[in-house]
Amino acid sequence: MQSRPVYRKWRGSVYKLVWRELVAYLVLFYSINFIYRFALNANQREIFERIRMYFNQKTEAIPMSFVLGFYVSLVVKRWWEQYKLLPWPDTLALFLNAGIPGGDERQRLMRRNIVRYAVLAYVITLQRVSLRVKKRFPTWQHVVDSGELVS
C-alpha cells in the first residue's frame, strides 16, 4: 500500500495560505513574551502594562463584528461584480437568434458556428484562469475530443 506524498495534503489548504503569517506572528509573540519575562525590570513592565491597557481600550472602540461584517460584505460584493462580468454564451445566442433570423439551414449553421466559436474562446480563456477547466481540457486534443474544436 503506497502512502500519498505529504505535499498533497497541503493542496487547497488554509494552512498553506497563512503559514508565513502564522510563523511571523508566533516569532513576534514569543519574542515580546521573552523580552517581557526576562529582559524587563519591574518599572519597565509597569510601562509595558500601561501601553497594553491603552491599546486594549482603543480596540474596544470599534467592535470587531462590525469590521468583520463590513469586510465580508466587501468581499462578497467584489465576487458578485466579477461573476456578473463573466460573458455567458446564452446571451450571445439570444442576440444571434434575434440578429440572424430565419429557420433555413444556412442561418442555423451561421448561428451555430458563431456560438461554437464563442464557447471555444471562452474555454481557451478559462483554461488560463480556472484550474478546473485546465484539468478538463489539459491539451488541445481534449478540446477536439469534446467537440468544441473540429480538427
119-151 confidence digits (pLDDT tens): 888 888 888 888 888 888 888 888 888 877 775
Q: How high is the pLDDT of residue 44?
A: 95
Q: What is the DSSP letter of 11?
A: T
User: Counting Cβ atoms within 10 Å, is residue 2 exposed (0-12), middle (13-18) or buried (19+)?
Assistant: exposed
Model confidence at 8: pLDDT above 70: no
Q: How high is the pLDDT of residue 128?
A: 86
The pTM is what? Answer: 0.48
Q: Residue 148: CB partners within 8 Å, gap ≥ 6?
A: 116, 119, 120, 123
* 97-106 confidence digits (pLDDT tens): 899 888 899 9
Model confidence at 1: pLDDT above 60: no
